[in-house]
């Protein structure tokens, strides 16, 4: 089992920045691919970014590429998502998730989920 707890969400104006963090506990954190997903009201959960255990594989959704940066610190069992140049359409509940897959953009491949942290971007 892996337990994930997100933090860092909040209300920010368009163009602003936030840094989300996801702290993990339980099984060896470094063996998991970590991903961030988001879900806005009335919409499906969508992939945002993911990073392999070594950091050698990183992937972003087209909608956030160049604005968001994912990173991880295996010594601290924490994965981060830096959100820059935020837009109102980035408003959503952001989830951290973990999978033993080597690479995946599909939320169905992720076995462990946090409770989510709300990001709200005002125009």
pLDDT tens, position by position, 34-88: 999 999 999 999 999 999 988 899 999 999 999 999 999 988 999 999 999 999 9
Which pLDDT belongs to residue 29? 66
Check whether 14 has a pLDDT greater than 80.
yes
Mean residue pLDDT of the chain comes to: 94
Can you tell me the distance from the alpha carbon of 103 to that of 101, in angstroms, rounded to the nearest whole number?
5
Distances in whole angstroms, Cα of residue 61 to Cα of each of 27, 42, 77, 108 = 28, 19, 24, 16
The rounded Cα 26 to chain-centroid distance in angstroms is 19
């Amino acid at each position: 089992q892996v337990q994930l707890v997100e933090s860092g969400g909040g209300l920010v104006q368009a163009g602003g920045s936030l840094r989300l963090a996801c702290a993990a506990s339980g099984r060896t954190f470094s063996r998991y691919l970590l991903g961030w997903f988001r879900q806005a009201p009335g919409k499906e959960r969508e992939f945002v970014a993911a990073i392999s255990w070594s950091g050698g594989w990183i992937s972003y959704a087209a909608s956030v590429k160049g604005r968001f940066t994912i990173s991880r610190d295996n010594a601290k069992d924490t994965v981060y998502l830096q959100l820059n140049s935020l837009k109102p359409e980035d408003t959503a509940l952001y989830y951290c998730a973990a999978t033993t897959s080597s690479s995946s953009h599909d939320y169905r491949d992720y076995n462990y989920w946090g409770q989510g942290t709300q990001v709200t971007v005002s125009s």
